[in-house]
Structure 1
Amino acid sequence: MGLKIDTLKELRELNLFDIVKDVFDKALKNGDLIYDENIEFERVTDPESEIENEIKIVSGLSKRPNNRASEPGNKDEEINEDKLNEVIEKNPFLKPEIELTVIDSLLGNYRLILNKFPNTKYHFLLVTKEFEKQDTLLKPIELQLMHTILDNLKKVSNKEYFSFFNSGSESGYSQFHKHIQFMMLPDGFCTYQSNVVRGVNYFIPKEIIENRRPIVYEKASYKHYILKLKEYDMYENEEQEEDERDSLAILYMYLIKRIMNIFKEFDMEDKKLSYNLLMMSNWMMIIPRRSAKFEDIWQNSLGFMGLFCVKNKELRDKVMNIGISKILQECGFPMEEGERDIVYNEYGY
């Protein structure tokens, strides 16, 4: 589209949902993306965690290319330079298709583009213009873009969006170019994360203070940490914009420190950090990852959101037979009794 957005103020005032919708509908009509509107799905409540899940068959997953610098479970995590060059050469995000581009220039360094193999309608990505590795930390401005986009979508549409970032070789990403994804929640779908933060006020976490440790849902089978976010109706001045960016960065780095301690606890300090970061307009959550898949069931952030996307009926049946809690526990780290009371070292790892 050639759309250029230079400031967060411009982004906040944009009717982003309508722009995404128009580009998506046109691309779908012209065959520029792979999406089946007649997706089979079912809602199930996991008996162990009491979490509502949606399982659906997304045929496009079998066509989605895998462009990684290293494979999950690879003991040698050093990235070969030739392999990295090959990944960059095949990178679909450096020169995205015009037909899939929503915003060609966002704050100078980013783009918004459609996912060519979407899990849902109006599934799009925030990507860096220049190549950056997917396992680099999120920058404060990237966290703020996530939050600003979510706020915008919530205000201009009647749809609930969430955002996620898969980082590290065991996080379940398929593209090594840095990208953050945005998807709609299914209609009528309620996340457990939104339930557990209801009534909680924003706070800066502190390990030694009981009511300032991150929130956890202890019926879940896997370690995870949730923090409430500040919400802004609008920026009244530059100080508020800066305050939001600082707040998001502080919360994110606190969560990164938490998972560094988890890797230490499990004697995995020699491994690169793998994690999933999930965000809605009023909360942020991190899940440390030890495996990208259980058997042949691949998981990125979506499974921890209660959204299971599989390639075919055989995999769907396998998920149901094994059990959702078991799969997520094996891909993450097992929940411990009294998880919220565990105190980790904030400064030494």
Structure 2
Amino acid sequence: MSEKIEINTFEELRNLELFELIVKIFNEAQKNGDLTFKEAINFEIIQDKESEIEYEIKIVEGLSKRPNNRASEPGSKEYNISNEKIKDIQKNNPFLKPEPELTIIDSIFNKYRLILNKFPNTKYHFLLVTKEFEKQDSLLKPIELQIIHTILENLNNNKNNKIINNNGEEVKYFSFFNSGPESGYSQFHKHIQFMMLPNNFHIYQEDVIRGVKYFIPKEIIQERRPLLYSNASFKHFILKLKNDSIDEEDKKDSLAILYMYLIKRVLNIFKEYQEDGNGDNKNTQISYNFLMMSDWMMIIPRRSAKFENIWQNSLGFMGLFCVKDEELKDKVLKVGFSKILQECGFPMEKDEKDIVYNEYGY
């Protein structure tokens, strides 16, 4: 069992030897059988011919054992979750009282914890969770965005704390948040996940933001609309992060402004979708995937949690496909990455970069 750690300032979080702590606790938990993980050996890196996006597909043993603790199943018309249903969810909530053996940081600002994923997709896969129950469908708060970004800074940008794999290659972390019933989450308690990218894995987001300077978006100015990867089959929006914040308050404000702008885009897409007669009704609950690295954030509106029986969360839109068995892997390869992501998200339009969404309302 690790020593209890409490973080009360961003400076403490930024300077903590976090990766060494994660490795130590993960290795102990794996050795003692406190988490379910087996290194994937059956994986492939494939460049999709349609989109030119690089994808990794692999079989993850823990997926078939991971518990499902959702408020409603994908495709359900049940939008209003009763208090009784919430109580039932709480009975099986693994995040309210996480196992000490899986706890990395016991307290961040008295409201959050860092814990290992008990059924990780990759080594050193961990979560930021709220201490008290909050719904996964709630928005990210400014302080949560700030914590996420500070953790990524610690892991990716600290010159004295670079993560080097066994081949001597630098490894990068990214974070993701699945929100809404069609976003692909399995736990209803609010949690943000952190994972390392595969070795030598190229992500298209880097191509999109290369050479771009930070800007606050504005719909009526084309050069200040969110960025996108034009070859992708699914709607998505990317923004460059500010890298020269004056202080912590400035950073928090900047992250919050960018995030809420992306949320507004998603809201407008759902509104148009319903007005065109595609939504089930006006109460269709908003779903999206949110991804972040040290220098960008991205949002993907979601209309379905799965295509046929191929379940999808944020990872697919990062180019990472994790499946539970060989049969599902073969099906993904047969259907195609672009088709699956297009059906789970919203189809990219040919003139997407020229579309002006409602700037002031939804």
TM-score normalised according to structure 1 size: 0.97
Structure 2 partner of 1:157 = 162
Contact 1:46 1:324 (C-alpha < 8 Å) held by counterparts: yes
Per the alignment, do residues 38 and 210 of structure 1 end up closer, same or farther by CA in structure 2, a change over 3 Å counting?
closer
| Mapped partners of 2:23, 2:9: distance in 1 | 22
Q: Residue 68 of structure 2: which of 55, 66, 69 is its match? A: 66
Structure 1 partner of 2:192 = 180
Q: Which runs of 5+ in 2 are unaligned?
A: 164-170
Secondary structure, counterpart of 1:23 in structure 2: helix
Q: How does 1:77-226 map to 2 (within 5 A)?
A: 77-154=79-156, 155=158, 156-158=161-163, 159-226=171-238
Secondary structure, counterpart of 1:84 in structure 2: helix
User: Deviations for 1:110-167, whole angstroms, at most 9, x for unmatched residues?
Assistant: 0000000000000000000000000000000000111000010012223200000000
Secondary structure, counterpart of 1:308 in structure 2: strand
| Mapped partners of 2:114, 2:189: distance in 1 | 14
Instruction: Decide which moves more: 142-151 or 264-273.
Output: 264-273
Structure 2 partner of 1:56 = 58
- Write the letter of the residue equivalent to 1:15: E
User: Deviations for 1:185-234, whole angstroms, at most 9, x for unmatched residues?
Assistant: 001001001111011000000000010000011110000000000125xx
Q: Which runs of 5+ in 1 are unaligned?
A: none
Structure 2 partner of 1:265 = 272
Runs (4+) of structure 1 exceeding 3 A deviation are: none
Contact 1:191 1:305 (C-alpha < 8 Å) held by counterparts: yes
Secondary structure, counterpart of 1:278 in structure 2: strand
Secondary structure, counterpart of 1:266 in structure 2: helix
Secondary structure, counterpart of 1:56 in structure 2: strand
TM-score normalised according to structure 2 size: 0.94
- Write the letter of the residue equivalent to 1:327: I
| Mapped partners of 2:162, 2:109: distance in 1 | 23
| Mapped partners of 1:86, 1:122: distance in 2 | 30
Contact 2:115 2:126 (C-alpha < 8 Å) held by counterparts: yes
Q: Residue 306 of structure 2: which of 293, 304, 309 is its match? A: 293
Q: Residue 337 of structure 1: which of 350, 353, 357 is its match? A: 350
Contact 2:6 2:106 (C-alpha < 8 Å) held by counterparts: yes
Contact 2:5 2:107 (C-alpha < 8 Å) held by counterparts: yes
Contact 1:39 1:58 (C-alpha < 8 Å) held by counterparts: no
| Mapped partners of 2:343, 2:295: distance in 1 | 28
- Write the letter of the residue equivalent to 1:192: Y
Contact 2:40 2:58 (C-alpha < 8 Å) held by counterparts: no
| Mapped partners of 1:37, 1:331: distance in 2 | 28
Structure 1 partner of 2:168 = none
Per the alignment, do residues 38 and 320 of structure 1 end up closer, same or farther by CA in structure 2, a change over 3 Å counting?
closer
Secondary structure, counterpart of 1:251 in structure 2: helix
- Write the letter of the residue equivalent to 2:212: V
Q: Identity over the aligned pairs, expressed in percent?
A: 69
Please state how far the C-alpha of 1:76 moved relative to its aligned partner. 2.2
| Mapped partners of 1:180, 1:242: distance in 2 | 22
Q: How does 1:38-53 map to 2 (within 5 A)?
A: 38-53=40-55
Please state how far the C-alpha of 1:75 moved relative to its aligned partner. 1.3
Structure 2 partner of 1:247 = 254
| Mapped partners of 1:22, 1:340: distance in 2 | 45
- Write the letter of the residue equivalent to 1:347: Y
Contact 2:304 2:344 (C-alpha < 8 Å) held by counterparts: yes
| Mapped partners of 1:334, 1:293: distance in 2 | 15
Structure 2 partner of 1:346 = 359
Please state how far the C-alpha of 1:80 moved relative to its aligned partner. 2.7
Please state how far the C-alpha of 1:38 moved relative to its aligned partner. 4.2
Contact 1:215 1:225 (C-alpha < 8 Å) held by counterparts: yes
Instruction: Decide which moves more: 33-42 or 10-19.
Output: 33-42
Total equivalences in the alignment: 344
User: Deviations for 1:35-60, whole angstroms, at most 9, x for unmatched residues?
Assistant: 00243210011111010000000011
| Mapped partners of 1:132, 1:95: distance in 2 | 14
| Mapped partners of 1:216, 1:86: distance in 2 | 41
Please state how far the C-alpha of 1:176 moved relative to its aligned partner. 0.2
Please state how far the C-alpha of 1:105 moved relative to its aligned partner. 0.5
| Mapped partners of 1:272, 1:76: distance in 2 | 9
Q: How does 1:319-330 map to 2 (within 5 A)?
A: 319-330=332-343
- Write the letter of the residue equivalent to 2:325: N
RMSD between aligned alpha carbons?
A: 1.0
Secondary structure, counterpart of 1:226 in structure 2: strand
